[in-house]
Structure 1
C-alpha cells in the first residue's frame, strides 16, 4: 500500500509493459547430517533488491506461502513442518485484508527429516512465492535430489568430512511445448518487436515526488507561521547592508540555508530508517494509529483549540547564537531559527510528505521530496531581496491566513481517518468500513465548504470577516467534492479517491453491478471459442494471490469503456498461475536440460507464459489472434485507463 497527500501520487507505481523474464531469487541447497538418525534439508536463498519472498503458513487466502513437498522419500520421512529463518517482516496487506510475513535480501528454509533405512533416496522440492512492488512471480520450485547411506548405520561408516552437496537449481524456461500444436509456439521475438524500447523510467516517479514537495512548500508558505516572517527577514537584510548587492547575496544565502536544512532532514530520515523500514513503518498498524492521533491534535490546534509551539528556549538560544556569530554561520543559524519557529505550521505538512514518499521504497525519495519543499519555502526570501518593491504589493497578514489554517485543519482530519482505516483493517475492528469512512469525509468536506462561505465560525475567527472570492471558489470545490462522494454510499467506485477509501469488500450496501469476468479459464478452450466466433483474444495471466492483479481489476477493468471492450469485442481468458487444481495427467517437460513435472493447472499456465511469451510476472496481458500470434505489445501493471483502452484498440485494429 500507499500513504498519500495528493491524488497524483497514485501514478508513481508505473511500470514497463515490455515482456521480460525475471529471476530475482537464487537458491542453493544442502543436506546437514545431525548424526542421530536425523538430518536437515537446507534451502538457502539470496533475494535481489526490491523483491521479497513470502514466509510459511500464510493460509489459503493470502499470497503464496513457502511449503515443502516430496516426490519420493525412500528411507526417510519429514519431521515437523518447513521452518523459515531470517529477518522476517510482518506487515498488514490491505488488499489481502490480512497480515503477511516475508523476507528481504536473504532467507533460509529448513526441513528436518528422519532416516528410516540405511539407504535413502530423496526427491523433493519447496514451493515459494516472490513479489516486488510492481509484479509477482508464479509459484516457483527449488528441487533437492540425493541418495546415499544414512547415519543410522554405524557412525564409522560415514565419512566425517563429507562435503555438502549443492543440488538445487531454480527452474528456468526453454523453448519447449506442453502440447504439440501451434498455439504453444513461442512468440517472444514478435512481442519484443511490438513493445520496442519505450519503457517509463523511475525518474518519472522522482519528478512527481519533487512536485509533491514543491506543492507542500507553497502551502506552508502561506501559513501564519511563515508568511509574516518574510517581510521582516528581507527588511533586516536590506537595513543591515547599505550595499544592496551584498544584501541580495545574504538573502540568497539565507534561502539556500533553508534548502540545506530541510534536505538534511530528508537525508536523516533515510539514513535512520532506510527505504524498506520506512515502507514497513508506513503500513504498520500501530504507527498509523499514532499518526492518526497526531493529525487530530494538529487539526484541533489549527481549528483554534490551542497553540502548539516548540519550547521558546530552543529558538531563543539559536537566535542568540546567530547574533553572536558572523558570516555564513550567522545566516545559517537564522534559517534554523525559522525552521523551529514555523514548526507548528510546517510540521504536519512535512509529516504528510515523508509518510507519503516512504511507501515508494526509494532511498532518495525523502530527500527529493524535502528538496522540493525547501525550494518553495526559500523562493520568496530571495525574490523579495532582489526586488524589494514587491514587498509593497505583497498581501498583508490577516484573516485570510486564519482561513488557511482552518482549511488545513479540516484536511488533516480527513487524512487522519485514512491512517485510522489502515489500523482498522489490520485489527479487524470493522468500525470504519467504506460507507462509514465516506460518511465522515462527506461531513468533513461539507463543513469545510460551510466554513469558507462564512456559515461556520471558530473562536479565533473575525466576526466581521466576509467571504472573499478565493474562499468562494474553494467552497464551491469543497461542496462539489462532497456531492461527488455521496453516490459512493451506494457502491459507486469513486475512482478519484479509491486509494484513500477502504476496499469495496467492506461496503455493506452496494448497488454497483458492472462486472468484468473471464468466461474462459482454460487456454485451449478460450482459443477454440475465439476461432469459432472470429474474435481476437486477450490473455490475462493472473493469480489468486496477485495483489496488483486485483488493483488492475478494481481500477481499470471497472471502467465502463474498458469493460465493454473486454466483454463484447474480445475473448477474455484468465489463466491463474497459482491454481492448485491437479492436472488429470501430470505432464513431463524438459527445461535447462532437466526434466520437470507439471502437476497442477497453475504449473501449466505458468509454463505457457514462460515458454510462449518469455515472461513470468503477473499481471501480464497479451493480445492474440485466433492462431495464437500477437496483435500488439504486451502490458503489465499500469492503472492508466486511457492507455489500457489504446492498448485494446491496437489489437482490434
Structure 2
C-alpha cells in the first residue's frame, strides 16, 4: 500500500512539474458595464504576474506584437470608437527594435464602448504577447463571450472572475514583497551608482581646483588643533561635513524632481536631449572654452562663516571647499547626477553623491590625521590640467550616448551605428594624441617630455580606438554593445555578407524567403527539412525557438553566437533550424489543424511552432535551444537565455558528443 501511494504521489508530482513549465503569467476577465439604457462598455481586464509585462495596443510597425481585439459582428450592437486602455502604459526605447515601446505591468483594463439594440452575447478574442526581462512567450489568443443586457450587465460568472482577479492581485503583491530578486537588483543598481560616484570623486580629487588645497587644509588642522586627538576629531568632522553637503545635494535632486520624474527620465526624449546639452557644456568647460563658477559673493560669505569655531566652522569650511572647487567638480557632479537620474533610481542621486563625497573626504581626513604622508604626494603642476582635459573628452563621449537615445526615440536616423562609432573613434583618437602632447590647448603648460603615466594612458586610448574600428564594418564589439545603436541600421555590415544563399526559397529550404539568419549562418526555418538535412550530413540539429519580437534572442545572437568559438561550432557541427513562434504567415488551408495540447485552431506559422514547442518540450518561452538528432530525439538538456559563452560552448560540445555516441 505504501509503495503504491509513493508511486501515485510521484506520478502526480511529475505531471505537475511538466505542466508548470507552461507559463501563464496573465489572467483575463471579461464583463460588461452599463453606461445608460442604450450604451455599455465591454470591459476586458488583464492581471499580470510580477516581473512580466503585456504590450500596449499602440506599438509601431516592426516592433513586438501589440495587444489587439476582434469582436463578432451582429445586428444587436455596434461598436463606438476604439478600445481604450488604462492606466497609461510605461514606455522606453528598445534598442533591439530601434523604437520606443509601450507596455503594461501588474494590471490593465481595456474598454470598448458599444451601442446596444437589445440584450445579446458578444464573442471575440484578444491577442497579446507577454515578456519579462529574460524571455518572451509566443503570441496567445484568448477567446471570450460577454453577455450584455438592460438589467444585470455583469453576470455572476464575471463577478466571481472579478473576485478571483482581486485575489490574484493580492497574491501578486505578496509575491512581490517576498521576492528577493527585485531587491537584489535594486541594491546592485545603487552599488553601481555608488562606485561610479566614488570613481568620479577620485577623479575630482586630482583636479587643479582641489589637489593644491590639500596642504592648506592639513596645515589648518595641525596648527589650529590643541592636540593630536583634537586634530583627528576635527579631521573626521570635516570629512563628515563634506559627505553631508554632497548627499544633501543628491537628496535635493530627488525631492525636487520626485520619484516618478526620475523613473520617466530613463526613457524621456526631452530629458535625454537636455542631458546631451548639459554634458557637452561640461565637456567644453573642461576643455578650456570657459569656466563654470559660482557667484563670488556666495563664496566669500561661506568663507567668512568658516572662521567661526567648533562644528559650525568646520561645516562651512567644507562648504567653502565645495563652492571654491565647483569649476572643477561641477561638471563631474553634473555628469554623475545625469547618469543617476537617467537610471530612474529614487535614491540614485544621493547614492552617487555619497560615493563622490566619500572619495573626496577620505583623502582629506587621512592626510589631516597623518600629515607626514604629504611628502609622498606628487607636486602640483601641468599634469593636473591634463586630468581635467581628459575628463572633458570622456564627458563628450558620454554625451553622444544620450543623443543616441533621442535619435532612437524620434526615429531621426542620423546617428546610426556607423556615425556613432565614427564619432567615438575620433574623440578617443584625439584623446590619445593629446596625451602624447601632439595636441595642445591655450591653458596647457609646456611638456618637454612625456611621462610614463601619460604614455600608458595614451596607449589605452589608442587601443580602445583600434578596438572600435572593426565595428564600422559590422563587428559586434561585445564590450560596448550596450552603449551602441543597434546593428539593424548599420549601413555597411560585412557580417551580413555570405548569407545570400539563405534568401531564396527552394523545396528543401521552405520559408527561406521570409527569414534571415544572423552572422551569415545557413539555417532552415521548417522542422522536417532540417531532419532530412541532419540525416543526409550526419550532423545534430540545433532547434532555435525564436521570434521577431524576442529581445533576448537578439542579445544571445549578438553576445553569444557572435563569439568565434560558438560561431565556428554552429557553422561546422550543426544543422541550424530557427523556428519563429510569433510569425504571422498563414498556413496553407490543408495545414490548418486543432492543437491536441491547447485545443485551439492553429492557423499561422508562428502558432504552429509555438504549439510544437509546448507539445514536444513542455515550455513556451524564448529563446529556447534544443539539440536533437535526425529522428527528433532530444540529446542534451535544453538551454534558455544565458549570456555565459563557456556554458553555451559546453552545451554545443555535449550535444555533438551525444549525437556521435549513439
Q: Same fold (TM over 0.5)?
A: yes
Separation of aligned partners in 1, 2:348 and 2:100: 26
Task: State the secondary structure of the residue aligned to 2:450.
Answer: coil
Which blocks of at least 5 consecutive residues in structure 2 are unaligned? 1-19, 163-180, 499-518, 658-662
Match of 1:549 among 547, 553, 561: 553
| Residue equivalent to 2:207 | 223
Q: Please say which of residues 529-538 and 135-144 is displaced more in the overlay.
A: 529-538
Pairs within 5 Å for 1:632-647 = 632=637, 634-636=639-641, 638-647=642-651
Per-residue deviation, residues 166-212 of structure 1 (Å, max 9, x unmatched): 4869xxxxxxxxxxxxxxxxxxxxxxxxxxxx999636565544433
1:481 counterpart = 2:464: yes
Q: Please say which of residues 355-364 and 470-479 is displaced more in the overlay.
A: 355-364
Q: 1:634 to 1:464 in 2, by over 3 A?
A: closer
The answer on whether the counterparts of 1:21 and 1:615 sit within 8 Å (CA) in structure 2 is yes
| Residue equivalent to 1:648 | 652
Which blocks of at least 5 consecutive residues in structure 1 are unaligned? 1-18, 152-157, 170-197
| Residue equivalent to 2:282 | 298
Task: State the secondary structure of the residue aligned to 1:495.
Answer: coil
Richer in helix (by share)? 2
Separation of aligned partners in 2, 1:419 and 1:527: 47
Q: 1:507 to 1:162 in 2, by over 3 A?
A: closer
The answer on whether the counterparts of 1:221 and 1:227 sit within 8 Å (CA) in structure 2 is yes
The answer on whether the counterparts of 2:262 and 2:345 sit within 8 Å (CA) in structure 1 is no
Give 1:446 deviation, angstroms. Answer: 1.9
Give 1:518 deviation, angstroms. Answer: 6.5
Per-residue deviation, residues 456-499 of structure 1 (Å, max 9, x unmatched): 21111113554222111111222233333333333333333333
Give 1:598 deviation, angstroms. Answer: 4.2
TM-score, with length taken from structure 1: 0.80
Q: 1:159 to 1:54 in 2, by over 3 A?
A: closer
The answer on whether the counterparts of 1:622 and 1:635 sit within 8 Å (CA) in structure 2 is no
The answer on whether the counterparts of 1:129 and 1:137 sit within 8 Å (CA) in structure 2 is yes
Q: How many residues end up aligned between the 2 structures?
A: 598
Task: State the secondary structure of the residue aligned to 2:494.
Answer: coil
| Residue equivalent to 1:241 | 225
Give 1:266 deviation, angstroms. Answer: 4.3
Per-residue deviation, residues 607-635 of structure 1 (Å, max 9, x unmatched): 45556555544333344565544613533
| Residue equivalent to 2:394 | 411
Pairs within 5 Å for 1:70-219 = 70=71, 75-115=76-116, 118-147=118-147, 150-151=149-150, 158=151, 165-166=158-159, 202=185, 207-219=191-203
Task: State the secondary structure of the residue aligned to 2:61.
Answer: coil
Q: 1:598 to 1:302 in 2, by over 3 A?
A: same
| Residue equivalent to 2:36 | 35
Pairs within 5 Å for 1:124-523 = 124-147=124-147, 150-151=149-150, 158=151, 165-166=158-159, 202=185, 207-270=191-254, 277-324=261-308, 326-327=310-311, 329-357=312-340, 363=346, 365-463=348-446, 466-512=449-495, 513=497, 515-517=519-521, 519-523=523-527
Q: 1:362 to 1:200 in 2, by over 3 A?
A: closer
Per-residue deviation, residues 261-282 of structure 1 (Å, max 9, x unmatched): 4444445555655677535313
Separation of aligned partners in 1, 2:640 and 2:447: 58
Q: 1:221 to 1:496 in 2, by over 3 A?
A: same
Give 1:307 deviation, angstroms. Answer: 0.8
The answer on whether the counterparts of 1:516 and 1:563 sit within 8 Å (CA) in structure 2 is no
**Alpha-carbon RMSD:** 3.7
Separation of aligned partners in 1, 2:97 and 2:35: 39
Q: 1:535 to 1:401 in 2, by over 3 A?
A: same
Separation of aligned partners in 2, 1:497 and 1:301: 26
Q: Please say which of residues 603-612 and 243-252 is displaced more in the overlay.
A: 603-612
Pairs within 5 Å for 1:22-61 = 24-47=25-48, 51-61=52-62
The answer on whether the counterparts of 1:587 and 1:597 sit within 8 Å (CA) in structure 2 is yes
Separation of aligned partners in 1, 2:410 and 2:236: 50
The answer on whether the counterparts of 2:239 and 2:365 sit within 8 Å (CA) in structure 1 is yes
Separation of aligned partners in 2, 1:146 and 1:276: 37
The answer on whether the counterparts of 1:144 and 1:168 sit within 8 Å (CA) in structure 2 is no
Q: 1:629 to 1:410 in 2, by over 3 A?
A: same
Task: State the secondary structure of the residue aligned to 1:95.
Answer: coil
1:603 counterpart = 2:607: yes
Separation of aligned partners in 1, 2:226 and 2:561: 66
Task: State the secondary structure of the residue aligned to 2:442.
Answer: coil
Task: State the secondary structure of the residue aligned to 2:292.
Answer: coil
The answer on whether the counterparts of 1:589 and 1:597 sit within 8 Å (CA) in structure 2 is no
| Residue equivalent to 2:64 | 63
Q: 1:431 to 1:160 in 2, by over 3 A?
A: closer
Give 1:396 deviation, angstroms. Answer: 2.2
Per-residue deviation, residues 353-372 of structure 1 (Å, max 9, x unmatched): 34445565655555544443
Per-residue deviation, residues 84-135 of structure 1 (Å, max 9, x unmatched): 232234443333222333334543211233445x452333222223344443
Q: 1:531 to 1:452 in 2, by over 3 A?
A: same
Task: State the secondary structure of the residue aligned to 2:545.
Answer: strand
Per-residue deviation, residues 314-345 of structure 1 (Å, max 9, x unmatched): 34334444444633x44344334333333333
1:587 counterpart = 2:570: no
- Of structures 1 and 2, the one scoring higher in RCO (CA 8 A, sep 6+) is 1
Match of 1:563 among 564, 567, 590: 567
Q: 1:511 to 1:608 in 2, by over 3 A?
A: closer
Separation of aligned partners in 2, 1:73 and 1:389: 91
Q: Please say which of residues 363-372 and 443-452 is displaced more in the overlay.
A: 363-372
Per-residue deviation, residues 209-249 of structure 1 (Å, max 9, x unmatched): 44333322222221123222333223222222132122122
Separation of aligned partners in 2, 1:257 and 1:531: 74
The answer on whether the counterparts of 1:56 and 1:67 sit within 8 Å (CA) in structure 2 is yes
The answer on whether the counterparts of 1:138 and 1:606 sit within 8 Å (CA) in structure 2 is yes
Q: Please say which of residues 351-360 and 431-440 is displaced more in the overlay.
A: 351-360
Per-residue deviation, residues 353-412 of structure 1 (Å, max 9, x unmatched): 344455656555555444433332222122212321001221122110100111111122
Separation of aligned partners in 1, 2:403 and 2:270: 10
Separation of aligned partners in 2, 1:237 and 1:55: 62
| Residue equivalent to 1:631 | 636
Separation of aligned partners in 2, 1:337 and 1:615: 62
Q: 1:530 to 1:253 in 2, by over 3 A?
A: farther
